[in-house]
Amino acid sequence: MTSNRWVVSDLDGTLLNHHYDWSAAASTINWLQQQSIPVIPCTSKTAEEVRLFRQEAGLHDPFIVENGGAIHGDDGHGGEWMLAIGKPHGELRPLLDQLAKELGSPLPALEDLTAAEGDALTGLRGEALARAQRRQWSVPFITPAQELRDRLRDLASALGLQVVQGNRMSHLLSAGSHKGRALEELKKHLHQSDVEVLGLGDSPNDLPLLEAVDQAVVVPGPNGPHPVFADAIANGHYRLAPAPHAEGWALAVRQWLGP
């Protein structure tokens, strides 16, 4: 981790498309690793899911999991260090049920879905779904109807919690745990406060990450970027990747690094 540049990226919906395919960025990721430019996943996924992704992508850099709930990195002796930022899942899980009661509407947690429901929501089956369901630092749940979201946010805030919305579901976390905070904690942990960071994301839960980086890139889906980013893209605060998912990701990274 001696490079003065980091690529910090969301995975689902950003680098990975809705079929979890990121092959269009494979050669760019390889090239970044050869240049010793870290590629740091910053994702809603669990650590066990990200470990598999890192293996496939050949990454050795730290990774931020569960929407900023914790940071992991290789310790150089075959193990990992881990920095916890938020409340553990065991404390959060009963609070989701309390919120559902106060809201007067069910908030089904990902971990409680049947195999068929989990597949319909995530496209994951079997052990891949189980890896996504075993949470340590957050509770993902089915995003409620639009008209309930403001009230849910207020109820969560009154309990010292927050709800962030990803591209497939919402996530309950401690207030103050988010992807941007995790990035700041990682810089501190590695004593690299001066590093120049490119951040890439696709959904509202990426806003704190995009606000914490030096260059923010919104990666669109096939139907364009998430509407929450429209103003920031229009006024040049965020850049829009020139293509969806891995293809746009790779082009945006190459543009940032220059010729």
Residue 49 binds Mg ion (CB under 5 A): no
Q: Give 221's DSSP letter.
A: B
Identify which of residues 41 and 62 has a Cβ nearer to Mg ion in the complex.
41
The three-class DSSP label of residue 71 is strand
Q: Which of 6, 7, 8, 10 binds Mg ion (CB under 5 A)?
A: 10
Give residue 221's Cα distance to chain centre.
16
Q: Which of 167, 170, 174, 177 binds Mg ion (CB under 5 A)?
A: 167
Scanning 129-137, 165-173, 179-187, 230-238 for contacts with Mg ion by CB under 5 A, the matching segment is 165-173
Residue 21 appears among annotated catalytic residues: no
- Work out whether the CA dihedral 121, 232, 238, 70 comes out positive or negative: negative
Q: Which of 13, 62, 118, 244 binds Mg ion (CB under 5 A)?
A: 13
Rule CB under 5 A: which of 176-205 touch Mg ion?
Answer: 202-203
Identify which of residues 10 and 66 has a Cβ nearer to Mg ion in the complex.
10
Q: Which of 12, 49, 185, 247 binds Mg ion (CB under 5 A)?
A: 12
- Return the number of other C-beta atoms located less than 10 Å from residue 9's C-beta: 28
Contacts of 176 (CB under 8 A, 6+ apart): 86, 162
Give residue 248's Cα distance to chain centre.
17
Greatest Cα pair distance in the chain: 55
Task: Catalog residues that contact Mg ion under the rule CB under 5 A.
Answer: 10, 12-13, 167, 202-203
- Residues marked active site are found at 10
